[in-house]
């Protein structure tokens, strides 16, 4: 498949998400050839796409883009990876046109069920390459619970209720710093 698969330009400078370092360790355990953060030129544009993770099967050349989707940005709380935004569909099409397979996980799945996510990747590899070695190593892993993709409205609601912060804290993936205390103004005493 060499020459038929879209090739990266190099390593990405995009900042990884808070759950990606944790998930990378899990992926690396099961898939030693996985890489994090490759960048791909968008033809006719000054911009590029970055993959969260890339896995290229050495025997067949099968290339898999593995993405972790957060419902909203951590700092700004702006909706992200929403079903009704269209950005991810456009990005998926870019990779599919370059002969990549795209696998998307919700961040919640990655932090709560990382080995089950690895199992999904192993299933895809087995189905497309006939190599069942990875799948055998993950045969005792539970099936990945599905997560419904969210809309902009749902992502705003999740942000309002700190949905991400809760599951990240529950799993120990990320603990938000305590809120800053407001400094009390010193009361000025009036002298009579």
pLDDT value at position 13? Answer: 77
Query: What is the rounded distance in angstroms from the CA atom of residue 186 to the CA atom of residue 191?
Result: 15
pLDDT, tens digit, 9 for 90 and up, residues 65-79 = 999 999 999 899 999
pLDDT, tens digit, 9 for 90 and up, residues 53-69 = 999 999 999 999 999 99
pLDDT value at position 10? Answer: 87
Give the C-alpha distances (Å, rounded to integers) separating 182 from 116, 136, 176, 178, 192.
43, 55, 17, 12, 30
Query: What is the rounded distance in angstroms from the CA atom of residue 57 to the CA atom of residue 125?
Result: 8
The residue-averaged pLDDT of 44-54 equals: 94
Query: What is the rounded distance in angstroms from the CA atom of residue 28 to the CA atom of residue 177?
Result: 29
- Contact (Cβ atoms closer than 8 angstroms) between residue 96 and residue 102: yes
Whether 112 shows a pLDDT value over 90: the answer reads yes
Phi and psi at residue 31, to the nearest 5°: -130, 85
Tokens of 89: 């569909």
Say what the pTM is: 0.87
Query: What percentage of the chain reaches a pLDDT higher than 90?
Result: 79
Whether 176 shows a pLDDT value over 60: the answer reads no
Question: In DSSP terms, which residues pair with 49 in a beta bridge?
Answer: 40
pLDDT value at position 154? Answer: 98
- Contact (Cβ atoms closer than 8 angstroms) between residue 80 and residue 72: yes
- Contact (Cβ atoms closer than 8 angstroms) between residue 8 and residue 35: no
pLDDT, tens digit, 9 for 90 and up, residues 120-172 = 999 999 999 999 999 999 999 999 999 999 999 999 999 999 999 999 999 88
117: how many CB neighbours lie within 10 A of its CB? 24
Give the C-alpha distances (Å, rounded to integers) separating 65 from 39, 51, 71, 157, 164.
11, 6, 19, 29, 23
């Amino acid at each position: 498949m060499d020459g038929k698969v879209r090739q990266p330009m190099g390593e990405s400078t995009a900042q990884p998400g808070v759950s990606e370092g944790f998930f990378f360790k899990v992926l690396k355990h099961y898939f030693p050839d996985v890489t994090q953060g490759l960048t791909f030129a968008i033809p006719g544009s000054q911009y590029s796409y970055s993959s969260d993770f890339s896995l290229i099967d050495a025997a067949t050349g099968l290339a898999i883009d593995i993405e972790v989707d957060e419902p909203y940005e951590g700092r700004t709380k702006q909706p992200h990876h929403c079903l009704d935004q269209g950005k991810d569909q456009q990005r998926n099409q870019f990779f599919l046109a370059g002969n990549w397979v795209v696998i998307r996980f919700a961040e919640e799945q990655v932090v709560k069920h990382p080995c089950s996510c690895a199992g999904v990747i192993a299933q895809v590899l087995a189905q497309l390459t006939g190599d069942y070695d990875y799948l055998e190593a993950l045969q005792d892993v539970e099936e990945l619970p599905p997560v419904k993709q969210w809309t902009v409205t749902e992502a705003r609601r999740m942000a309002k209720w700190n949905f991400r912060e809760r599951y990240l804290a529950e799993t120990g993936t990320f603990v938000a710093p305590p809120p800053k205390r407001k400094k009390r103004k010193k009361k000025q005493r009036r002298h009579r």
